[in-house]
Every structure is written in C-alpha cells, then in structure tokens.
Amino acid sequence: MLGLAGALSGCAVEVGDAGAPDEPVGESRGALLGGNALNLNALNLNALNLNALNLNALNLNGLSAQNLAAIQDPGPNGALAREFVRYATGCALSSAESFNFSWTDSTGAVHHESYPGLLGVAPTWARGPLDELGQRMVSSCVAARVNYYRVPVILSARSLREPLKTLSSSRELIDYPDVEGAFWGNLFAAWPYLNACYNSATVDNSRAYKRDCAAGHLISGGYIEECGVIHIVGPCSRVCQNLNGAGQYYPSCVDRPGYSTATTKEVVTTALP
C-alpha cells in the first residue's frame, strides 16, 4: 500500500539552534543532515523513471504503474530505486509526512517501507506535481547527500531558498565552518543533469571526512573520478556568486557552465566541521 502518514520519530535531521531566544522570528535555520550515504548508482536514471515521477504526486494515486513497478522490483534495480525515493522523500517532505508502501521480495516476504520527510524543501510533492523550483531543490538536495564511499557523514545543508536559509547567528555556522562546495541541477528535466563545485580551500578537509563528490574522488595517477552523473564544474569561485557572509552559502551558480550563462538560485551548499 502506498500513501502518506503522520510524522515518525527518530528523524535524522536536526534543525540548528531551534530554541535560541535571540534569533529573528521567521528566519530559517539551515539543517544538520545525518545518514548521507546515498549510493551514487541510485542516480542511474534507468533505476527510476524520474520524468514520470515529475508528472505525479508522491502518493498512492500519483505514481505511474512504471514507477510503482520500479520501487516494488525485488531485484537490485528495485533496491536502487527505493534508496533514491527514500532520500528524495527526506529532502522534499516535511517531518509531518512520510511515504509508505509495500513490496514483496523473491522469497515471498512482504516488506513494509515508511520513508519519513525531513527537510521539507518541496512539501507540495505530497499533494501534486513538483514545480520547477521543487524539482531543482529536490535534485540539489539529493545530490548533496551522495557519498562515494557510502559512509554516513553529518553535514550542514544551506541555501538561499527556505527552509535551508541559514541564520547568521546560528551555532551551526560555528560548528560547521568549512564550506566544501555546492550542488545543483534538475533530475526531473527532459535532459536530466547535476552539477557540483568545490571550495578550493577545504578540499583536503572534505576528503578527510570521506566526502568526495564536490571535488571528485582521487584515483591512481592523480586523476579525478566523478560521483555518477554529478558533473564537477570546477571551483565554486568560478561559477557561483560569492559566499553569503552571513549564512555561508552560495546564493546562485551558473546553471549549465559551458552551455549558458544563465544562473540558478536553487543551489544547496554543504559544510563540514
């Protein structure tokens, strides 16, 4: 059965400084994200037809037969599809909602899945199609949570867009001072794409924390390997607006470097201790 349910306990997201009395009312607080170990192979567009998901709500009546078959597939592609949907749901929905469904493995055992919402960057996906802003924010958020080593790393996710707009007075900025880079793109577009850039000053710190997808994974010979479909476009200083001094995020980046000079504000900046 597919559907949306109420909030689940044990969310892996902690919203920084939730009770600080001196914080401006109505200003968002960014988010600390745990469990960021999305398999880069889960971004394989053959694992899930994202263009079809784009047309429907993330609920029982919204998924196409093709999407439903993808996440109920008992084979390895099904595992990748479910992993992608779990991370996408966590990015899109608020903590008051979850995505629930069941699937049957090759032995006949039934598995009941419940994927809780966490950040709420596109909560309307629970009720209808994602608009372009929602598509971009979910895509950027999912890309930021990919880990080459599949090692969970707690990071600070920030953006010009709510609800990830970081407070200038947030403790999060003190505890997570090293901006590693940024992620953006649109997995739901007719020609899906994801981009990443890195902060040249913190590359070594990012790799020490097993975070390789902004700067790329070093392989023998000094060559760089990208994380699946996430294309590394170089230092953020070349393609993004300067870091916002108050919230420590990149306000905008060139959407398709090398193809167009148009910029996008649907960028997720990540930072580490």
What pLDDT tens digit does each residue of the chain (273 aa) get? 333 332 222 222 222 222 222 222 223 345 666 666 666 666 543 334 454 555 566 776 677 787 888 889 999 888 888 888 888 999 999 989 999 999 999 999 999 999 999 999 999 998 888 899 999 999 999 999 988 888 888 889 999 999 999 877 788 888 899 999 999 999 888 888 999 999 999 999 999 999 999 999 888 888 889 988 899 999 999 999 999 988 899 999 999 999 999 999 999 999 999
Q: Residue 191's pLDDT is what?
A: 86
d(C-alpha 226, C-alpha 248), whole Å = 25
Q: Residue 110's pLDDT is what?
A: 97
d(C-alpha 153, C-alpha 175), whole Å = 14
Q: Residue 27's pLDDT is what?
A: 33
φ, ψ dihedrals at 114, nearest 5°: -140, 110
Q: Residue 249's pLDDT is what?
A: 95
Residues 189, 230, 123, CA angle at the centre, nearest 5°?
A: 50
First to last CA, the chain: 41
pTM (2 decimals)?
0.83
Number of residues in the chain: 273
- Which two structure tokens, joined as six digits, stand for 196? 């990443």
- Which two structure tokens, joined as six digits, stand for 248? 């420590």
DSSP bridge pairs for 99:
4, 115
The arrangement of strands across the sheet holding 268-272 comes to 13-14, 31-33, 155-158, 268-272, 178-186, 193-198, 230-235
Q: Is 247 exposed, middle or buried (0-12, 13-18, 19+ CB in 10 A)?
A: buried
User: 212, 210, 262: which is closest to 232 by C-alpha?
Assistant: 212
